[in-house]
Each structure stands twice: as C-alpha cells, then as structure tokens.
C-alpha cells in the first residue's frame, strides 16, 4: 500500500526543543496527517517549549497551553465551538 506525506508544512523551522528531539519529528508528522484544521492542547511539559515563544512561533495552528490536569477540559472548548459553528 503506497503512502504519501502531505507537502504542506504546519511546523516551520526554528523550534526551541533540544537538538535531535524525537518529539519534534512526531509533532511535525502528526500535524501533517491532521491538517490545517487542527487545534492542539499542550500540557505543561517539554512539548510546550517546542513551538517557541510569541511572536516567533514555529507552528501555523492554534495552540492552547494548559496545566497538566486541565488538558482534557481545555480542548473541550474549541471542540465544542467547532461543533456549534457546524465545522469539523
């Protein structure tokens, strides 16, 4: 079964993670698979530093930074609003 990776990059160069970090590759390829209509909720962890600080973010999608225990609750807001607006 042939597979293809989309050309569109949602993660630009210049992330602030450690060099050789596997999480950056995982984030890059997962975002390519999910596409532009993705909202990411990131708990307090090393994943929160990957995009960098504003205004020099490396991700072209909305992100929500949350305390670890509130990640599920924080993503329910954007998920609910897209359903309310008739989007997926």
State pTM to two decimals.
0.72
Q: Where are the domains of the chain?
A: 37-84
CB atoms within 10 A of CB 64: 15
Residue 83 has pLDDT above 70, yes or no: no
Q: Label residue 85 by pLDDT band (50, 70, 90).
A: low
Q: How much is the pLDDT for 81?
A: 66
CB atoms within 10 A of CB 60: 14
| pLDDT digits 0-9 by tens, 2-59 | 778 778 888 888 888 888 889 888 988 888 888 888 888 888 888 888 887 777 778 8
Give CB contacts under 8 A, 24+ apart, made by 77-83: 78/39, 78/41, 79/39
């Amino acid at each position: 079964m042939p597979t293809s990776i989309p050309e569109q990059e949602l993660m630009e160069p210049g992330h602030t993670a450690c060099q050789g970090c596997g999480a950056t590759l995982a984030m890059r390829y997962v975002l390519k698979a999910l596409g532009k209509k993705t909202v990411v909720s990131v708990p307090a962890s090393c994943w929160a530093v990957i995009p960098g600080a504003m205004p020099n973010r490396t991700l072209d999608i909305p992100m929500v930074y949350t305390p670890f225990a509130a990640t599920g609750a924080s993503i329910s807001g954007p998920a609910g609003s897209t359903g309310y607006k008739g989007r997926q």
